[in-house]
Structure formats: structure tokens, C-alpha cells
Amino acid sequence: MASRAVAAIGLSGSLRVRIVGDDEMAAAHQEFLDDPTTTDVLTFDMSDEQGLDADLMACLDEAERRSRELGHQRREELLLYIVHGVLHCAGFDDHEEHARRRMHHREDEVLRMIGVGPVFDRVSGSRGAEGDRP
């Protein structure tokens, strides 16, 4: 599914995804962004004009919490994290509210394109004012 999502975004190249737990994610979040908390996904983008070249860390524990809270499968939540990270590589940003809404809309659009359907905003407003994704 991840390769289909990357293709739907319009990128090709190399993507490596590592699924980790809270402890490892929090340590990486501290090391690279000076934030000691866990997070859903970290993106390490080394892409250039040759195409996609990125490493992602996706947090299984966070995916389990969010999927339980929102009533969908853990794998759908993890796929959302992967799409989110790849969109960062495609130039999307989520630091300002308008950009954040645009990015989350594109996430769900990509997930619809590959037959999964919306995950971030399955029901409008289901995630509230979250938006603290890296």
C-alpha cells in the first residue's frame, strides 16, 4: 500500500520505513527536534532531483492509541503516517493552519486514490486541533 501511495503522490525513488515504539520514537524526537515526547512520524528527507530518497520512523504505539480512539484499523493509521511523511518530501508543510489543512486534505485524497478512504478526517473535525505532526 505504501508504494501505491507514493505513486499516487507522484513520486518515485526510495522510501524506507521503520516502525518503532514510543521509547525509540521519543529518543529520536529528542535527538533530532529537541522534543522529549513521542510523536507519530519523523521524516528524514534526502531527496534530490533524482527522486524520492527518504527514511521514515512511524510510531506503532501512537498508531494503536489513535486508531482505537478514532475507530479504524492500526494499519490505516500507520499508512496515514507514511503518506504524511512522503508529502513532506513532496514539499507540503504543516506549520501554519492553512498549510496544515491543505496537507491533511491531500493525505485523505491520496488514501482515497489507493482505495483506503479518508483516515485523518474520516468524519469532519474528528481530530480537532491536533496538527502537531513533525
All 3 cell numbers of residue 120? 485523518
Contacts of 92 (CB under 8 A, 6+ apart): 99, 102, 103, 106
Cell digits of residue 2: 505504501
Strand pairing class (52-59; 41-45): antiparallel
Residue 16, class by beta-carbon neighbours within 10 Å (0-12 exposed, 13-18 middle, 19+ buried)? exposed
pLDDT band per the 50, 70, 90 thresholds, residue 133: very low
Give the pLDDT confidence score for residue 92 in this predicted structure: 95
* Average pLDDT of the residues of the chain: 89
Nearest 5°: the CA angle 75, 81, 87 is: 135
Per-residue pLDDT tens digits for 7-51? 999 999 999 999 999 999 999 999 999 999 999 999 999 999 889
pLDDT of residue 128: 39
- Would you state the pLDDT for residue 25? 98
What the chain holds in terms of domains, given with CATH numbers, is 2-113 (3.40.390.30)
Any alpha helices (H) in 34-121, and if so which ranges?
60-70, 74-89, 97-113
Check if the beta carbon of residue 88 is closer than 8 Å to that of residue 81: no
With 80 as the cut, is the pLDDT of residue 99 above it?
Answer: yes
- Specify the pLDDT at position 49: 86
pLDDT band at 126 (very low <50, low <70, confident <90, very high): very low
pLDDT tens for residues 54-79? Answer: 999 999 999 999 999 988 999 999 99
